Amino acid sequence: MSKLLSHDELRAHFAKKFGRSATVIARAPGRVNLIGEHTDYNDGYVLPAAIERETRIAAAPRADGCVHLVAFDLSRETTFDLADVQRSTSEGWSNYIRGVAAGLLAAGYPVQGFDGLIQGDVPIGSGLSSSAAMEMASVQAFSAIGGFVTPSAQAARIGQKAEHLFVGANTGLMDQLASALGQPDHVLLIDCRDLSFRPVPIPAGAAILIADTSVRRSLAASAYNERRAQCEAAAQALSVPALRDGTLAMLDAVALPDVVARRARHVIAEDDRVLETVAALQGGDLHKVGELMNASHASLRDLYEVSSVELDTMVELLRSQPGCYGARLTGAGFGGCAVALMEAGAVDAAIPAVAAVYRMRTGLTPALYPTRAAAGASALTL
Ligand code: GLA
């Protein structure tokens, strides 16, 4: 994982590469989801926070309608023409930005070309939404360079469409919304049906610890798309617009293939858990929040089947630490990260303890880092 460059370093690299000064620095954070997994594409509730890891783009306008991108951490570069935005097969990392450009153009914005240097410290492929960070940072860059404002909900939808059309993952909207709307020290209760949201303060004394299994997600897109289709089949069988509208009683009353019923059971109960978590946070009942997180993990493991041996091991180790309220996998699953809610004072001791036993049990070196909830995407004009 790369280290985040300072603004001065980023500007210096930009000047060296392009022979002129950057005029904008756009940024957008990754996200961690406290609870509400695989509910967003079922029109349900999620409770994510933006994290203190972000993607930045230093940029300066071009007059020829082209976008020239340098991915500093990957040592790759690519150029595309706004007059004909295509997917790239050789520079896959750029498809998020190509997709965003196509989406902004389709929405009628006066999109202008730019030179851009991209750098960041959101680990790639570990379930912390490096892709959404790249999308939301690029919306900010295009908006600042073109002199227009893209409302957050529209920015999120454009990012989602980029994933669907340019990357091939039929994702929901949680990651983009969290990256766009994040607020320091708050999780966001988002209703993924109407995209309304409410910031919920993280109680003082509680801390979020992210634990990366260091297993990159594999086959994630196809397994993810398959689950999404199973949820749609279940909603259809229940005669509801989306599983958000389903109940466990409705589910018990219809005959469904076992696997489809289990997927639906997870989603319906997970939606309730999100609302219960919000109530518990507001009541300062962190033990209850932890129980709900633990129940979410069990459901994702047993009913939704998106956990892994490494995630289960990590979650178990986190829970065994003094001061841990609860832990679960976060994001799509199939590898990636777990999240724990802990007493703030217990985090420092937990990190080396979890890392050592995880390494012994799996032979893998994990990355553990506490994060505060951070602010959503923004752009700075230089
Ligand atoms: C990925 C997707 C999100 C969401 C989560 C699972 O992060 O991008 O839209 O579906 O998985 O909750």
**Domain for residue 305, yes or no?**
yes
- Domain range for residue 105? 7-199+374-381
Q: What integer pLDDT is reported at residue 221 of this predicted model?
A: 78
Work out the average pLDDT over 99-108: 98
Q: What integer pLDDT is reported at residue 125 of this predicted model?
A: 85
**Domain for residue 2, yes or no?**
no
Mutation to probe ligand 1, out of 40, 130, 339 (largest number of atoms < 8 A from CB): 40
Per the CB < 8 A criterion, the answer to whether 51 and 31 are in contact is yes
Residues above pLDDT 70, as percent of the chain: 99
Same domain, 366 and 224: yes
The burial class, CB within 10 Å (0-12 / 13-18 / 19+), for 304 is buried
Q: What integer pLDDT is reported at residue 163 of this predicted model?
A: 93
Verify whether ligand 1 is closer than 6 Å to residue 331 (CB atom): yes
Work out the average pLDDT over 316-334: 97
The burial class, CB within 10 Å (0-12 / 13-18 / 19+), for 89 is exposed
**Domain for residue 323, yes or no?**
yes
pLDDT band at 110 (very low <50, low <70, confident <90, very high): very high
Same domain, 320 and 335: yes
What does each C-alpha distance from 308 to 23, 35, 216, 314, 332 come to in angstroms?
A: 44, 18, 11, 10, 12
Q: What integer pLDDT is reported at residue 222 of this predicted model?
A: 85
Q: What integer pLDDT is reported at residue 219 of this predicted model?
A: 53
Res 282 pLDDT > 90: yes
Residue type at 292? L
**Domain for residue 311, yes or no?**
yes
Q: Phi first, then psi: what are they for 321, rounded to 5°? A: -80, 140
Give tens-digit pLDDT for 248-278: 999 999 999 999 999 999 999 999 999 999 9
Domains in the chain, number: 2
Give the distance between the most distant pair of CA atoms in the chain. 67
**Domain for residue 341, yes or no?**
yes
**Domain for residue 245, yes or no?**
yes
Same domain, 153 and 269: no
Q: What integer pLDDT is reported at residue 346 of this predicted model?
A: 98
Same domain, 150 and 236: no
The Å distance, Cα 175 to ligand 1 centre, comes to: 7
Same domain, 25 and 102: yes
Same domain, 319 and 365: yes
Work out the average pLDDT over 136-164: 97
Q: Does the reported pTM lie above 0.85?
A: yes
**Domain for residue 1, yes or no?**
no
Q: What is the average pLDDT value for the chain, to the nearest integer?
A: 97
What does each C-alpha distance from 20 to 63, 65, 141, 376 come to in angstroms?
A: 14, 18, 17, 28
Res 338 pLDDT > 60: yes
Q: Phi first, then psi: what are they for 32, rounded to 5°? A: -125, 140
Work out the average pLDDT over 289-316: 98
CA 327, 330, 333 angle in degrees (round to 5)? 120
Same domain, 41 and 122: yes
Same domain, 249 and 178: no
Give tens-digit pLDDT for 190-215: 999 999 999 999 999 999 999 999 99
pLDDT band at 115 (very low <50, low <70, confident <90, very high): very high
- Residues taking part in catalysis: 175
Residues above pLDDT 90, as percent of the chain: 95
Give tens-digit pLDDT for 72-95: 999 999 999 999 999 999 999 999
**Domain for residue 340, yes or no?**
yes
> By alpha-carbon position, which residue is closest to atom 2 of ligand 1?
171
Work out the average pLDDT over 354-376: 97
pLDDT band at 1 (very low <50, low <70, confident <90, very high): low
CA distance 163 to 331: 15
Same domain, 245 and 182: no
Verify whether ligand 1 is closer than 6 Å to residue 172 (CB atom): yes
Tokens of 138: 């690029």
Residue 271's CATH number: 3.30.70.890
CA distance 332 to 38: 7
Same domain, 176 and 232: no
Verify whether ligand 1 is closer than 6 Å to residue 326 (CB atom): no
pLDDT band at 168 (very low <50, low <70, confident <90, very high): confident
Give tens-digit pLDDT for 211-243: 999 998 765 678 999 999 999 999 999 999 999
Same domain, 130 and 257: no
Alpha-carbon Rg for the chain, nearest whole angstrom, is 21
> By alpha-carbon position, which residue is closest to atom 8 of ligand 1?
171
Res 53 pLDDT > 90: yes
Same domain, 181 and 253: no
For 234, the 3-state DSSP assignment is helix
